[in-house]
Copies of this chain bind each other. A is one copy, B any other.
């Protein structure tokens, strides 16, 4: 669970602790809220399979997808200070979640501080990626934004996996991609078709292949935040 094991060697009792954490496992279908209409305190989830997304809505049907969660991600850490969920978090595909109480998290902190530190480190990767995303949305042209988004999805899908392929799944409609990038579905479409026509992208829904990743990364100065993790301080 939670991808920690892929980054660092765990002691047996740490493995046990993680396993015990898994709490109750529930399955969810596309568009379901990750937390049932749920009690306020049952507010941490570990995504076992599938994707989830956090959305912010405002007047006038404006929607932004602020975060995308994939198998192994922990959901709810940035909501710890609230008793009512500040944003809407729902499944992007069918999937399975483990639900934990916040207390379980607190226990982990006391009993296995090392694990806990690792967990914080992992979640800092997402926070940093979010900063990059903010920059991308704030300052880049529509095309660059799209490229940046695809690169970061690619690097997140392959976080800590050996297989390095430039083909990855993207289970999102063009409207949703627009909601993540601050563009119209129509414009996303034009961009995608353009990139495909110029041979930079191969689309075969729901898969995408970036044909010259190096070129894109260079052009954008893209940094793969998920590539390395420094866990020395935790040990």
- What copy number does this chain have within its complex? 2
Are B182 and A131 in contact (CB-based, < 8 A)?
A: no
Separation in Å of the A41 CB from the closest CB of chain B? 6
- Whether B131 and A87, one on each chain, are in contact in the complex, defined by CB atoms closer than 8 angstroms, is yes
Residues of B within 8 A of A140 (CB): 58, 62
**CB <8 Å contact, B113 and A106:** yes
Question: Is B103 in contact with A109, judged by CB distance below 8 angstroms?
Answer: no
A89 to chain B: closest CB distance in Å? 11
The size bracket of the interface on A is 35 or more
Residues of A near any B CB (own CB < 8 A): 40-41, 54, 56, 58-59, 62-64, 66-67, 77-83, 86-87, 101-103, 106, 109-110, 113, 116-117, 120-122, 124-125, 127-128, 130-135, 137-140, 181-182, 220-221, 223, 225, 228-234
Given contacts A64-B135, A81-B230, A81-B231, 15 further A-B contacts (CB under 8 A): A41-B232, A54-B131, A56-B134, A58-B140, A59-B221, A64-B138, A66-B134, A77-B120, A78-B124, A80-B120, A81-B121, A81-B125, A82-B128, A86-B225, A137-B182
